[in-house]
Amino acid sequence: MTRTAATALSLLALILGAAWAEAGLPATSSGEVATANGTSAVAALAAPATMVAIPAGEIELLYPIDGEATAQVAAFEIDVRPVTNAEFLAFIASDPFWARSTVPVVFVGSGYLTAWTGDYDLGDLLPDAPVTNVSWFAAAAYCEARGARLPTEAEWELVARAGAAGPDGRTEPGFSQMVLSATTNRAARPGPVGAGAPNHYGVHDMHGLVWEWVFEVGSSLNTADSRSQGDKRLVLVCAGGSVGATDTTDYAAFLRYAYRGGLTGDYSGSGLGFRCAS
């Protein structure tokens, strides 16, 4: 984990610790996620997804910064599929802080888990479908409870660009059309995770099932660690369009770039889920 990532997680732990104290829930001295009954959230998770190792690689930046058109991504691991309703329900059962009726509004938007019929009731949602309507804060807390984290934007993009046969799907016939179709032919509710074929890395559901949270909120993937770009990142997020892009045929990257610019950490959208990395 980078120093920036560790600092951000420490800040999240401090924020949550203050909220736990206000809500009467214990916060551990180590900064781990505390639970109302004093047990570890990790022990109660319902068979979390297997992670697959992703080798170090290089991504082509959608918009160059300071003349740099590529960025290096260090080796990491990522879940082979998104987190499911059943897994997130188990997390909430072990840590009621994140239940819909008790979580402070500063961490979640009005759409948080609205498809559930109760704090611990999925209603008619499929247990093995990806959990949606979760905020960045809730997703980050779940991953931290597993001893993991949200993937960085560069890590997620590296995996998302892989095709069926190789690490760069843009070289494969039909890849861009597949991504475009996935964004326009969505079902009202996502189906089970892992139903489609895996990509080159063995990872499922990178396109067409749900949008996914990454570590950086509102970033535009300027570098492998775009959290440090400050005003340059903001300019690109606001600019949009394709002028100056390194590859104007990379439709998949443009779609993801256009969508992520306006989200805040408390947003809880119906098509937005997540997976963990380490």
CATH of the domain spanning 41-273: 3.90.1580
- Give the pLDDT confidence of 109-136 residue by residue, as tens digits: 999 999 999 999 999 999 999 999 999 8
Task: Read off the pLDDT band of 271 (50, 70, 90).
Answer: confident
The model's pLDDT over 56-114, given as tens digits with 9 standing for 90+, comes to 998 877 666 567 778 899 999 999 999 999 999 999 999 999 999 999 999 999 999 99
Query: What are the boundaries of each domain within the chain?
Result: 41-273
Task: Look at residue 257 and tell me whether its pLDDT is greater than 70.
Answer: no
3-state helix, strand, coil in the chain (%, to 5): 30, 10, 55
**153-165 pLDDT per residue, tens:** 889 889 988 888 8
Checking if the pLDDT of 31 tops 80, the result is no
CA 262 – CA 26 distance, rounded (Å): 34
More confident residue, 41 or 171: 171
pTM for the predicted model, two decimal places: 0.72
Q: Half-sphere exposure of residue 87, counting CA atoms within 13 Å on the CB side?
A: 28
